[in-house]
Amino acid sequence: MSQEGLLRPGIAQLRVLDMEEAIKHYVEYIGLELVSREADGRVYLKCFDEFHRHSVVLREADTAGIDFFAFKADGQGAVDSFRKRIEEYGLSVDDVAAGEMPGTGGRIGFTIPSGHRIELYADMDLSENAPETKNPYIWHKPPHGMRAQRMDHCLLYGPNIDEVEKFFTTVLDFHLPERVDLPDGTLAIWMTVSNKAHDIAFVKHDEPGKLHHLAFYLEDWHDIGHAADLLTQYDISRDLGPTRHGITRGQTIYFFDPSGNRNEVFAGGYTAYKDHPVRVWDHNNVGRGIFYYERQLNEAFLSVVT
């Protein structure tokens, strides 16, 4: 797939209540690598199949949630072009200096109509433990925990979903593989800047700036089952699953980190091309769309956010 501009999700910065508990959860259980602890207290993590220095940043705070979600661009020229388009759309853009995160170039940031901060950047150092590129083995050393391959996507809750869709599709060049429509308007949208089923998703919610979940990609259904075994072994709070989505067709299990941030591990999903029609779900079938086997939603899944 020929792709220019934004390439993929790159960084998620989460707020956690207890850093040591969070590190144990994300490193030992989900299987991320601890890259560094920095003087400002933030902790940097990556998955074993990611080339760049880090993808998940933890910041200790009084409330859980997400500080920002960032997308990597194919060069600084693309970032500069997006800045102009974002400002012409009417959103204010600020700068984050190179080096504010170790190994990371300058970033631009802005707040979208749902109340979430989105950032764009072009430059990050490669990891010292990046996947091999010459006669490569599958991995340097056997992955551990749930064997998360990459930070995959997030689902965010907030208002003004129609405006969010317009902004992402007309300004940031995302396309829309799937949506849920209610009689009074749009409930949820799944959007991608690649050919994954989704890179980011939004659900309509009265409170702005909320996180529903941050997702990590696993290899297959067997690994989803392995994740479920670990949740039981270590008494990790499970939300729902293992099951499958009708929307995206992904195989999934949801659970919570020690701060209450919901995580997902996700496998499968269809390939989304820009010329495909949008898949649309109505309010009578949204239960099957979200949980394909159960064919109904549970209240906690809809309402618990950070």
The ranges assigned to domains in the chain are: 6-121, 152-219+233-303
The CA distance from 87 to 110, in Å, is 10
pTM here is 0.96
> Which of the following is catalytic: 54, 198, 205, 212?
198
Query: Which residues, including other chains, have CB under 8 Å from residue 268's CB and lie 6 or more apart?
Result: 220, 221, 249, 250, 251
Q: Is the peptide bond before 242 cis (omega within 30 degrees of 0)?
A: yes
Q: Which of 116, 153, 205, 212 is catalytic?
A: 153
Based on the residue annotation, tell me whether 213 is a catalytic residue of this protein: yes
Chunked into runs of 10 residues, the chain (306 residues) has average pLDDT values of 82 98 98 97 97 98 98 97 98 97 98 98 95 91 94 98 97 97 92 96 96 97 97 95 92 97 96 95 88 82 87
What is the per-residue pLDDT for 3?
67
Q: Give the pairing of strands 200-204 and 185-192.
A: antiparallel
| Matching residue, tokens 């144990």 | 24
Instruction: Output the pLDDT for position 75.
Output: 96
- Tell me whether residue 165 is one of the annotated catalytic residues: no
- The residues, ordered by sequence, that sit 6+ positions from 136 with a Cβ below 8 Å of its Cβ are none
Q: Which of 116, 205, 212, 245 is catalytic?
A: 245
| Residues in CB range of 306: below 8 A, 6 or more apart | 15, 63, 64, 65, 66, 210, 211, 259, 260, 261, 262
Q: What pLDDT is stored for residue 5 in this prediction?
A: 94
Question: What is residue 1's predicted lDDT score, i.e. its pLDDT?
Answer: 43
Class of domain 6-121: alpha beta
DSSP letters for 178-244: EEEEETTEEEEEEEESSSSS-SEEEEE-SSSSEEEEEEEE-SSHHHHHHHHHHHHHTT--EEEEEEE
Q: Containing H/E element for 177? A: strand 175-182
Residue 221 to residue 202: CA distance in whole angstroms? 25
Q: Which of 54, 212, 213, 226 is catalytic?
A: 213
- 26 given a catalytic annotation: no
Please state, in angstroms and rounded to a whole number, the distance separating the CA atoms of residues 112 and 164: 7
Are both 6-121 and 152-219+233-303 of the same fold? yes
Fold of 152-219+233-303: 2,3-Dihydroxybiphenyl 1,2-Dioxygenase; domain 1 (3.10.180)
Whether residue 121 lies in the annotated active site: no
Q: Dihedral of the CA atoms 29, 33, 37, 42 (nearest 10)?
A: -60
